[in-house]
Amino acid sequence: MSRFSSLLTLCLVATLVAAGPCDFYSSGGTPCVAAHSTTRALYSAYTGSLYQVVRGSDNATTNVTPLSAGGVANAAAQDSFCAGTTCLISIIYDQSGRGNHLTQAPPGGAAAGPNVNGYDYLAAADGAPVTLNGHKAYGVFVSPGTGYRNDATSGIATGDEPEGIYAVLDGTHYNGACCFDYGNAEVSAHDTGNGHMEALYFGLGTGYGTGSGSGPWILADMENGLYAGSTAGVNDADLPVTWRFVTGIVKGEPGNWAIKAGNAQSGALSTYYSGPRPDLAGYNPMSKEGAIILGIGGDNSDGAQGTFYEGVMTSGYPPDETECAVQADIVAAGYATTPLVSGPAVSVGSAVSLRATTACCTTRYLAHTGTEVNTQVTSTANTSAELLSASWNVVTGLGNSACVSFESRDTPGSYIRHSGFELYVNAPDGSTLFETDATWCPVAGINGAGNSIRSWSYPSHYFRHYNAIGYAASNGGPTVFDAPALFNNDTTWIVGAAWA
């Protein structure tokens, strides 16, 4: 109790000084050597670029900076640059001055990325909107296949050198695939053996150790295993994450490492593990290589999902008092949710039709034939069965209640979902994957009319008609139905009353 109060006092004193997380790490003697955030500056004096976006209409880029020194990102600058088109996050800048920027991850040992030339996807620039003390900002929404990396860094720990890592993440966005990581990885993007990584992992992954209950957990990815402690099996002290915004910490020094976590909106961090390295060959001493990854495993395993708001890597093993002050600073940043939908209301409980807006096709409506979603010319001359096939119930999103799902009016209990980025009308199979693939966030129409219907799980993908078939398409993506020509019109729909 007295130790707790003295730490709390120490943190309160520290936060009276205007400072960012990396100022606390510096004054604690373990400076940031990488500092990444699309939401805010991580040093009180930082005014440089936070991230770069590239837009679909002409491949032009712009850098987003804080509104003021040490402040929140200027999301309005992104919104105006990206108006009438789509944008992706192409660079997440390193604020530490060491040039450890994160860019689109190349193919690795385990997996070639799904994008052109085996690269991973870039994240949609507006896939993870939040507010920080009321100011809008965007996080990095990592869908499976998305990843960022830097294999030629400066100042990041190598060998058994000590380091600290923290990240602020969305505690409700995860899966069990490998690996939603942020931290230290192989410079070759290949698995070079135990102890060649030291990254913060978040999700349901199992492999050597896990936390208690059914997860999700903050774990450490030290290569060839996710770790919650020093031995195989369950570390009951590594509690499942239950917060919308979570602060996670993984840090390591010779022979020793730790996991901490806490609610990024209030309170302090708890230590979930602090002790020896895993008791398998290769982890003591460590053989860290010093590359940086975000959203993927060290060998580019790219099946995981999660959302990253901010994070750093330090030189040196940060003292607990420093991390206490950093957590207080994160809480003071005031992370909060904001609506995922925009444009004309597409209300839960309504029954709707969706009319195409491309000049070719303005008499065509989103319909289905069996499980295939398509567009069909529809009018009052159609039979009532045909009209029902072009009519949809708007229900609460199966995978996220902030968005919606579309239930077929003629096949109750079946919903529009994407699979292989094609749209189908299917009944749920009980999986989280189905629920998230059937969840859609209606937003203001990309071409300026009506709505675009964005995938919750892949926010760079929208309902699109292409050769009269329904897809979840991305602007300029790797498949033929991602073609940039007519993308804005093909992904914009007039949502009106149901036909039947």
> Quick one: 117 or 242, whose CB is closer to ligand NAG?
117
Give least dist CB 469 to ligand NAG, A: 13
Give least dist CB 373 to ligand NAG, A: 12
In single-letter form, the type of residue at position 16 comes to: L
Residues 334-353 that bind ligand NAG (CB under 6 A): none
Residue 408 engages ligand NAG in binding (rule: CB under 6 A):
no
> Quick one: 276 or 412, whose CB is closer to ligand NAG?
412
Which entry of 126, 186, 299, 302 is annotated as an active-site residue? 299
> Quick one: 24 or 119, whose CB is closer to ligand NAG?
119
Secondary structure of the chain in HEC code, one letter for each residue: CHHHHHHHHHHHHHHHCCCCHHHHHHHCCCCEEEEEECCECCCCCCCCCCEEEEECCCCCEEEECECCCCCEECHHHHHHHCCCCCEEEEEECCCCCCCCCEEECCCCCCCCCCCHHHCCECCECCCEEEEECCEEEEEEEECCCECEEECCCCCCCCECCCEEEEEEEECCCCCCCCCCEEEEECCCCCCCCCCCCEEEEEECCCCEEECCCCCCEEEEECCCCEECCCCCEECCCCCCCCCCEEEEEEEEECCEEEEEEEECCCCCCEEEEEEECCCCCCCCCCCECCEEEECCCCCCCCCCCEEEEEEEEECCCCCHHHHHHHHHHHHHHCEEECCCCCCCCCCCCCEEEEEECCHHHCCEEEEEECCEEEEEECCCCCCHHHHHHCCEEEEECCCCCCCEEEEECCCCCCEEEEECCEEEEECCCCCHHHHHHCCEEEEECCCCCCEEEEECCCCCEEEEEECCEEEEEECCCCCHHHCCCCHHHHCCEEEEECCC
Give least dist CB 389 to ligand NAG, A: 5
Tell me the number of residues near ligand NAG by CB under 6 A. 20
Site string for ligand NAG, 59-88 (x = CB under 6 A): x-----------------------------
Residues 430-459 that bind ligand NAG (CB under 6 A): 447-449
Give least dist CB 422 to ligand NAG, A: 19
Q: Quick one: residue 116, left, alpha or beta (phi over 0 = left, psi -120 to 50 = alpha)?
A: beta
Site string for ligand NAG, 364-403 (x = CB under 6 A): ---x--------xxx---x---x--xx-------------
> How far is 221 from 211, CA to CA, in rounded Å?
13
Residue 358 engages ligand NAG in binding (rule: CB under 6 A):
yes
> Quick one: 277 or 368, whose CB is closer to ligand NAG?
368
Give least dist CB 96 to ligand NAG, A: 30
Which entry of 223, 289, 310, 323 is annotated as an active-site residue? 223
Residues 6-65 that bind ligand NAG (CB under 6 A): 58-59
With beta carbons less than 8 A apart as the criterion, state whether 97 and 302 touch.
Answer: no
Residue 484 engages ligand NAG in binding (rule: CB under 6 A):
yes
Is 223 among the residues known to form the active site?
yes
Residue 177 engages ligand NAG in binding (rule: CB under 6 A):
no
> Of how many residues is the chain composed?
500
> Quick one: 351 or 377, whose CB is closer to ligand NAG?
377
> Quick one: 322 or 488, whose CB is closer to ligand NAG?
488
Give least dist CB 348 to ligand NAG, A: 24
Is 302 among the residues known to form the active site?
no
> Quick one: 104 or 192, whose CB is closer to ligand NAG?
104
In the block, which residue shows the tokens 């994070």? Answer: 311
> Quick one: 280 or 449, whose CB is closer to ligand NAG?
449
Please pick, from the candidates 1, 16, 281, 359, the single residue that binds ligand NAG as defined by CB under 6 A: 359
Active site positions, annotated:
223, 299
* Contacts to ligand NAG by CB under 6 A: 58-59, 357-359, 367, 376-378, 382, 386, 389-390, 447-449, 476, 484, 486, 489
